């Protein structure tokens, strides 16, 4: 295996930290921003606050449980594949949430 010497001062560490910061900022930011849409969802769809809060609580529980699975998949397949698949699934989920018509869709998507 051939190992190339890095030039002094050239490191991908800052690029990796910046990329991770952006990924986490977008992912967690979009997830936590749900509270901004809470009152409009109640007003527009006429659902109870408990129904909408229940979906949020379920999502947090699922996130905690699936974090263990994601860690295992990350160890097995690597972060590139796991982050790519996760990004695609999250994008599809957010698109489906934009087409929301009933309460069961809120819980599933």
DSSP line for 5-69:
PPPTT--SHHHHHHHHHHHHHHHHHHHHGGGGGHHHHHHHH---HHHHHHHHHHHHHHHHHHHHH
pLDDT of residue 81: 93
- In the chain, where are the structural domains located? 13-108
Does pTM surpass 0.75?
no
pLDDT at 9 over 90: no
pLDDT tens, residue by residue, 51-93? 988 988 998 899 899 989 999 999 999 989 998 998 899 889 8
């Amino acid at each position: 295996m051939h190992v190339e010497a890095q030039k002094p001062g050239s490191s991908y560490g800052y690029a990796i930290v910046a990329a991770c910061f952006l990924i986490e900022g977008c992912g967690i930011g979009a997830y936590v921003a749900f509270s901004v849409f809470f009152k409009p969802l109640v007003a527009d769809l006429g659902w109870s606050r408990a129904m909408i809060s229940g979906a949020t609580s379920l999502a947090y529980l699922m996130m905690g449980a699936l974090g263990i699975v994601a860690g295992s998949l990350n160890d097995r397949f690597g972060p590139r594949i796991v982050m790519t698949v996760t990004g695609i699934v999250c994008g599809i989920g957010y698109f489906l949430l934009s087409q929301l018509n009933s309460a069961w869709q809120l819980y599933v998507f």
